[in-house]
Structure 1
């Protein structure tokens, strides 16, 4: 019998994660390294300046303040890179099939129950409909041409009303056109929806919707996006 490999998978270290994050973000913002260097240098300069201004003015004090400025500059650089990495991620997945599924499963928080697999999809056009359930009710998100999505959206709305007639149903279309929600603003827009049902009702709706979809054929994730390859890891 072959021996089982019980060794845990080695996670990348901090330096490796920072390098990966830097490379990922630099693809969208080529000027990023210069900005990070500038932030760190500014932090050191600020620390040294404080060393000269705050008594006692001595070499050890200037060095100590310089090191403090270096640490603060490095921290500010990491925060800047992390925020730009998030923007870079949205820029890369904008318009890609499957991007909506990634956002609703990773960007809405624990208060929402969602799946990256669409509940309705047109294999020819790759237009897809996704569903999420939260305290605000049932969310239906269309990804693709709004006109072509009408049938899929209406089918999912009827299904939701049949399972939970008293629960609000919200419909959003992902895109950059008028009345649509951009992929980068989708998470924030969904989180802004007012809470209208209790946690118990939410759990009951999730159970009913899941039981209904279990009998349906498994729908494929639209080709065009691999969330594991797009996701930018953040340094610990």
Structure 2
């Protein structure tokens, strides 16, 4: 199920957005500040973010930059202002769309679906993370050390982790995406694949690490 991060310091607007999204069938992770949103992402996996512009502390523009750069998330910005300068700032920060309050819920839902369709079929078939390049067409893993060919399930696991850098992916989510919901094996299968990937990355792309988050799952990140 698609999970959306909703961020707004106005609890009434946050509640409205979250309720509309849930009625449409989305799972929602709520945050009332940019700081809280980043805290939630330490243990939650999301597919898209709906972010208010005017927030104290980390505002919507700054949060968008972080979400795009560190988490590769699509972002829709919400604002009460019509100024073209604000729209420009939003798009320069990396937002995918911009919606002015007040808006109808149908418009927000339409824009979300359009962005999700675009991200479900990306034009770019190359994932980049640190020194690592993952070619989704040729199933090749590349770095400055050359080209690495790995078994399909390991490739799919690496690509899944790399598609959501710094996000913690639960074991259940990994199993469902890689082995399917009817998988009859146990968690040892994941453990074996993670161990093999770590060993390969240590030699092939030592700046890229797979981190275990105890009791939750795994994440991948670049460590210099």
TM norm. shorter chain > 0.5? no
If the length of structure 1 is used for normalisation, what is the TM-score? Answer: 0.30
Task: Determine which structure has greater relative contact order: mean sequence separation of CA pairs < 8 Å that are 6+ residues apart, divided by chain length.
Answer: 1
If the length of structure 2 is used for normalisation, what is the TM-score? Answer: 0.32
**Higher strand content, 1 or 2:** 2
